[in-house]
Amino acid sequence: MAQPKYRTHVGMVDILPGEVEKWQTIERIIHEEAQKFNFEEIRTPILEQTELIARGIGQLTDIVSKEMFAFERGDDQYVLRPECTAPVVRAFVEHHLEQRGGTQNLYYIGPMFRAEKPQKGRQRQFHQFGAEILGSDDPIADVECMAFMMSVYERVGITNTSLKINSVGDPESRDAYKKALADYFTPHKNELSQVSQNRLEKNPLRILDSKEEEDQTLVAEAPVIGDFLNKESADHYRKVKQYLDELGLAYDEDPHLVRGLDYYTRTAFELVSPDLGAQDALAGGGRYDLLVEEVGGQPTPAVGFAAGIERLILACDELGIKLSKPKSVDLYIVTIGDKARSWALQQLPIFRQEGFSATMDYAGRSIKSQMKDADRENARYTIIVGENELNEGTFTFRDMEASEETQLPVEEILDRLEKKLDPQE
């Protein structure tokens, strides 16, 4: 077969029929769980101002320094959003959402873009669902975020996961910790990878996130932030763990967990799956108490998470979890001749109105090909109609699975369908 002339860009994937049903199932579960947790959906544009993303996520992060899809148009600098926390915070500030009163519990589902090297579980256009609670510094908000996140995996049936948590402290605690890290790594500078040597000067915290083999021994022995948390941050972290315990949400403390975005303060968490291979992070999040102010709003503590939908689906595939039923249609009308085709076209809305899925042949095929097509479409029932049936007002109603046929008027066919099938929602 000739190669097609046009293809998707590297790392960007078409979600085709057969696959898309899995997405629909997951999206339905997310919406249902969000409703139970009293979160409201927010939809922000795919394009944001580059400055917002750079400031929000941090100039030195991989996302901003290497992975942005950014372009200029006139005087404006656009970027395809690499994540949705900064955009949600922008929307919160821009539309004064705090004036609605209470905390803003928001969630989203949508595509994000990062120019990373594609591999299994890593794409350049990928999808996240996520949630942000704006306006609370209560550890209960942190735990509710994690509980919402976990509820989706539980509903889907992914339970073999590990929830890693840490506190990255407030700026005061972190400054003390950064200094301790610099003091620890500097005498070993030459043993570090080149990337980490650069990070040592700019932000030694980032070294903890290093994937380079040669850094691992030093990283394992590095000081832990827990020893540098001031009383407020330590109390907050203790409460988060207490509430998680009380909820029965299992977690593993990872004192070296730092996240790849700069806005985090205090709680940081990641959900990992042993079923995913190298890209094992299903989801991640944490608290970002300074971000709202950073992008021009009033000081507003906040916490949130985002989860990769492709990785969730990969984990389901690995575990053999079926997210969708094979496609099927309740009724296929097989027609012989033009009159029958017109009749069928007029009957379809009647069945659909009653809640059944119904279709017919669109290609003027022979009766044999139409029966084959009905099989391929996985039709539960067929009606076979030709001139004789039209004259007599009774039609061949065929149960495809049982291979049984009866001659019936349309009203009785409807009646039978109602008895045999649950109309689709």
Binding site for ligand HAM (CB under 6 A): 83, 85, 114, 116, 121-123, 126, 128, 130, 132, 260-261, 281-286, 288, 304-308, 310-311
CA atoms of 66 and 115, how far apart (whole Å): 7
286 φψ region: left (φ > 0), alpha (ψ -120 to 50), beta (else) = left
Contact 138, 315 (CB under 8 A): no
Smaller CB separation from ligand HAM, 127 or 380:
127
Check if the beta carbon of residue 240 is closer than 8 Å to that of residue 267: yes
- Residues 178/184/188/193 CA torsion (nearest 10 deg): -30
- Write the Ramachandran bin of 175: left for phi over 0, alpha for psi from -120 to 50, otherwise beta: alpha
Residue 104 CB, nearest distance to ligand HAM (Å)?
13
C-beta closer to ligand HAM: residue 307 or 340: 307
**Distance of closest approach, residue 269 Cβ to ligand HAM, in angstroms:** 9
Q: How far is the CB of 268 from ligand HAM (least distance, A)?
A: 9
As beta bridge partners, residue 412 has none
Least spacing, CB of residue 384 vs ligand HAM, in Å: 48
Please answer whether residues 173 and 229 qualify as being in contact, where contact means their C-beta atoms are separated by less than 8 angstroms.
yes
The DSSP secondary-structure symbol of 424 reads P
Distance CA 104, CA 133 (A): 6
- The enclosing H or E element of 403 equals none
For residue 201, how many C-alpha atoms fall within 13 Å in the half-sphere facing its CB? 4
Shorter beta-carbon distance to ligand HAM: residue 307 or 417: 307
**Closest CB to ligand HAM among residues 86, 413:** 86
Between 153 and 185, whose beta carbon lies closer to ligand HAM? Answer: 153
Closest CB 311 distance from ligand HAM, rounded Å: 4
Q: Please identify, using beta-carbon distances, which residue of 305 and 356 lies nearer to ligand HAM.
A: 305
Q: Which residue is nearest to ligand HAM (CB)?
A: 308
Least gap, CB of 58 to ligand HAM (angstroms): 12
